[in-house]
Amino acid sequence: MITVGVDVGGTFTDLVLANMQTAQQVIHKVPTTPGDPSVGVLQGVSELCALARVTPSEVRYVLHGTTTATNAVLEHKGAKTGLITNDGFRDILHIARHQRVEHYSIQQDLPWQARPLIERAHRKTVPCRLISPDGAELVPLDEEAVRRAARELAVEGVESVAICFLFSYLNPAHEDRAAAIVRAEMPGAFVTTSSSLSPQFREFERFTTAALSAFIGPKVGSYVAALDAALKQIGVTGELRIMSSNGGVATARMVTEKPALTLMSGLAAGVLGGGWVGDQAGRNRLITFDIGGTSADIGIINDGQIVETDARSTSIAGFPLLMPMLDIHTIGAGGGSIAYVDEGGAFRVGPQSAGASPGPAAYGRGGDLPTVTDANIVLGRLMPGDFLGGAMKLDATAAERVIATLAARLGLPLLDTAEGVLTILNANMANAIRSRTLQKGIDPRGFALVAMGGAGPLHAAEVAAMLAIPEVIVPPFPGITSAMGLLVTDLKYDAVRTLFQTSGQFNLSRINADLAAMQNHLAGRFAADRIAPDAVSYARIGDLRYVGQGYELKVPIPNGSVDDASMAQVLDAFHAAHAAEYGHAFPQNPVEVVNLRVVGRGAMPRLTPGRAAPGGSLELALIRHSNTVFRVSGTLASYPTAIYQRASLPLSQPFSGPAIILQKDTTTAVPPGWQAEVHPAGSLILTQKVLP
């Protein structure tokens, strides 16, 4: 069976073709076509098939990571969107949580007011009201008012409508009925309800999730439809599946209905790819660390499980998103990050980036500000003649010139300045990792860092050292790990319901009924997607907190009918999770089950294990020796360093740093005190020999 993974990034579209039977793997890269990304995708798929000598009709699945939804939100280019909500609550989206983004600022913009997803003119209210605890109807839905609102929206040129009522997470009837009316009144419009996306309490967050979905809906829908049609035109008869933020893929139909699923599409694939690489090397506690030109993305895999965010920590462009998502933390730190001395004399690196254009000074495209890439060149860690496999020459003189200017401002020697740029950047990244792990009660010292992206392997060992992480894994192709990640996922759909039940007073029949209803709902989705029932598995999860708390922890719910014994297990697991995350538990305190969740997975064919090419040796791999600069035990010094070609390195034969390892899509730095070896599965494993 042949599967193709296509990951559209900002600059490049990465592709991987894998034959799951023969273990054939072919990779390819084409420029991204920002105007219409599907153009680049089609070109890439055609070329890839030719490279792999397969006909497009042999491709069973095209798995796709897309930034269409993300970019529509980041650039605020979405549909003209309308809202229908309860009388008296027209401005929930506008008032938000009434909190400013910045404490110390008069001139700040609030995203939800400065760049509203739905203008007030298009926010309509209608009489209707449901109430807790069970969603009973206090005020019936005024259907005529809904009809009137829909007609007004149509006249105003609205293309997409979000229907958001209070307490719809307890009872979707009003939202569903209103949606049916709006669909009848506005044929052709995209219509979504808040309860169908995320039936959880907290109205601002749920309404915003629906508003985001409506805002991007028409764009995502037409992109997916066009791509699907175009793939068929070039002869691909297999199915298109799209990466979701939750770390699974979804069918084109599902994504068209719930476009907000794809807001973290590209990033999620990267973490999956990192997890797969770690798994191949026999590691299941991993921190994935993907550094590109402008940003670094960090994901965590704990005991083989990718860590998901809690519902209150997820946002895009300042808008909260109440959907299951992998916990991916992005900071503005990358190869293009600009180093500067600020007005008060402090030495800073990023978050401003020179990007790809003009890029670092060494790119020779007019960049005249010192960047991380320039610092790496000055220290001898990036080879000006070997960048992108020699396809792009770097200007070492220009790099030295801009770092020298910075050094003069700081009053530091040239090499100290260049090394300082890396130390500050690495410390920023180490702090980001620290905050994502320690805050969750995870000790990073037991983890391996998976270095991805063009710049990840240059920095990973030093970042790991700052965190006392003993091991770094550099995948065979760090630049296309996201595309690889697309080939190791399952179809994954989530269902959630808010419960609000307290220990001692659990209503077991309601819990069982809710779990069964959610599982049935998901089974229906899988059936509609033509997934055989025996290929589907379900996991059940509760979001629990001590009564009074505002943040929940996820705890597994045992299989089978839920009874007192299984709820006791759930409570024990909650106390343990609380102790792990916060350092203590209160076993005597009452516990509230806030949400129930069911996660359904439809198994997909997976990438077969990789293998490193045998036959290499250090002698064959050695290109030359040159000098590189590292700081060891506080002292900055220049070291004679072996420069190796990665493809010719021997298997399972450790060699010591300092060493620089070249390959087309990245450069790996092995600092003094570290050693490296090629794992049989193809990854490079870097280990710190002596912990400081």
Site for other proteins in 357-416 (CB under 8 A): 410, 412, 416
* 502 in Cβ contact with 592 (< 8 Å): yes
Q: Is 445 in the site for other proteins (CB under 8 A)?
A: no
Contact predicate 684/661, CB 8 Å: yes
CB-wise, 169 or 526, nearer to other proteins? Answer: 169
Give residues 502-541 in contact with other proteins (rule: CB under 8 A). none
Between 347 and 538, CB nearer to other proteins: 347
Residue selected from 35, 157, 344, 615 as contacting other proteins according to rule CB under 8 A? 344
130: left (phi over 0), alpha (psi -120 to 50) or beta: beta
Burial class (CB in 10 A: 0-12, 13-18, 19+), 112: buried
Candidate residues 343, 534, 564, 619; the one interacting with other proteins per rule CB under 8 A: 343
Rule CB under 8 A: say whether 439 interacts with other proteins: yes
Residue 131: CB minimum distance to other proteins, A: 7
Q: Segment contacting other proteins (CB under 8 A): 166-174, 177-185, 397-405, 669-677?
A: 166-174
DSSP letters spanning 174-241: HHHHHHHHHHHHSTT-EEEEHHHH---S-HHHHHHHHHHHHHHHHHHHHHHHHHHHHHHHTT--SEEE
What is the SS3 assignment for 480?
Answer: helix
- Beta-bridged to residue 557, according to DSSP, are 540
CA of 525: how far to CAs of 163, 186, 218, 257, 384, in Å?
A: 22, 25, 21, 12, 53
Question: CA-to-CA distance for 250 and 255, rounded, in angstroms?
Answer: 6
**By the rule CB under 8 A, 551 interacts with other proteins:** yes
Instruction: Please count the residues of this chain forming the interface with other proteins, following the rule CB under 8 A.
Output: 71
Q: Which of 1, 102, 226, 408 binds other proteins (CB under 8 A)?
A: 102
Residue carrying structure tokens 């920023």: 428
Among 35, 53, 75, 103, binds other proteins (CB under 8 A): 103
Given a contact cutoff of 8 angstroms between Cβ atoms, the answer to whether 20 and 607 are in contact is yes
**Site membership for other proteins, residue 635 (CB under 8 A):** no
Residue choice 57, 589, 652, 653 for contact with other proteins (CB under 8 A): 589
- To the nearest whole angstrom, how small is the minimum distance from the Cβ of residue 498 to other proteins? 8
Based on CB atoms, which residue is closest to other proteins, 132 or 559?
132
Contact 555, 593 (CB under 8 A): no
- Give, for 377, the enclosing helix (H) or strand (E): helix 372-378
- Tokens for 568, please give them: 């006791």
Q: Of the candidates 477, 679, 606, 485, which has an alpha carbon nearest to the alpha carbon of residue 27?
A: 477
Strands 553-557 vs 536-546: parallel, antiparallel or unpaired: antiparallel
Closest CB 531 distance from other proteins, rounded Å: 34
Find out whether the peptide bond into 672 is cis, omega within 30 degrees of 0. no
Q: Which ranges of 10-139 would DSSP assign to H, the alpha helix?
A: 37-52, 68-74, 92-95, 111-114
Residue 438 as a binder of other proteins (CB under 8 A): the answer is: yes
| Amino acid at residue number 542 | G
Q: Distance (Å, rounded) from C-alpha 171 to C-alpha 333?
A: 44
What is the distance between the alpha carbons of residues 219 and 465, in angstroms, rounded to a whole number? Answer: 44
Q: Which of 199, 224, 330, 209 is nearest to 261 (CA)?
A: 209
Q: Which of 21, 57, 357, 435 binds other proteins (CB under 8 A)?
A: 435
Of 329, 337, 328, 339, nearest to 269 (Cα)? 328
Q: Quick one: 48 or 496, whose CB is closer to other proteins? A: 496
The residue (of 280 and 423) whose beta carbon lies closer to other proteins is 423
Using CB under 8 A, pick the residue from 53, 107, 534, 565 that binds other proteins.
107
Q: Does 443 bind other proteins (CB under 8 A)?
A: no
* Residue 550 binds other proteins, judged by CB under 8 A: yes
Q: Does 584 bind other proteins (CB under 8 A)?
A: yes
Orientation of helix 173-185 relative to helix 143-155, angle to 10° = 40
Tell whether residue 348 is a contact of other proteins (CB under 8 A).
Answer: yes
- With contacts defined by CB under 8 A, name the span among 59-67, 319-327, 343-351, 533-541 that binds other proteins: 343-351
Stretch that binds other proteins, among 17-25, 215-223, 341-349, 554-562 (CB under 8 A): 341-349
Our CB check for other proteins shows the closer of 272 and 287 to be 287
**110 lies in the binding site for other proteins (CB under 8 A):** yes
Distance CA 71, CA 82 (A): 20
Q: Which of 237, 524, 586, 656 binds other proteins (CB under 8 A)?
A: 586
DSSP reduced 3-state for 392? coil
Selected range binding other proteins among 102-110, 211-219, 322-330, 523-531, rule: CB under 8 A? 102-110
Residues 129-148 that bind other proteins (CB under 8 A): 131-133
Among 3, 81, 160, 428, binds other proteins (CB under 8 A): 428
Binding-site member from 302, 549, 566, 569 for other proteins (CB under 8 A): 549
Q: Does 347 bind other proteins (CB under 8 A)?
A: yes
Minimum gap (Å) between residue 556 Cβ and other proteins = 20
Q: Which residue number, 167 or 477, has a Cβ lying nearer to other proteins?
A: 167
- 120: contact with other proteins by CB under 8 A: yes
User: Is residue 424 at the binding interface for other proteins, with CB under 8 A as the rule?
Assistant: yes
Residues 203-262, interacting with other proteins (CB under 8 A): 203-205
Binding mask of the shown chain, residues 167 to 186, with x at each position contacting other proteins by CB under 8 A: x-x-----------------
- In the complex, the smallest distance separating the C-beta of residue 295 from other proteins, rounded to whole angstroms, is 17
Contacts to other proteins from residues 488-507, by CB under 8 A: 500
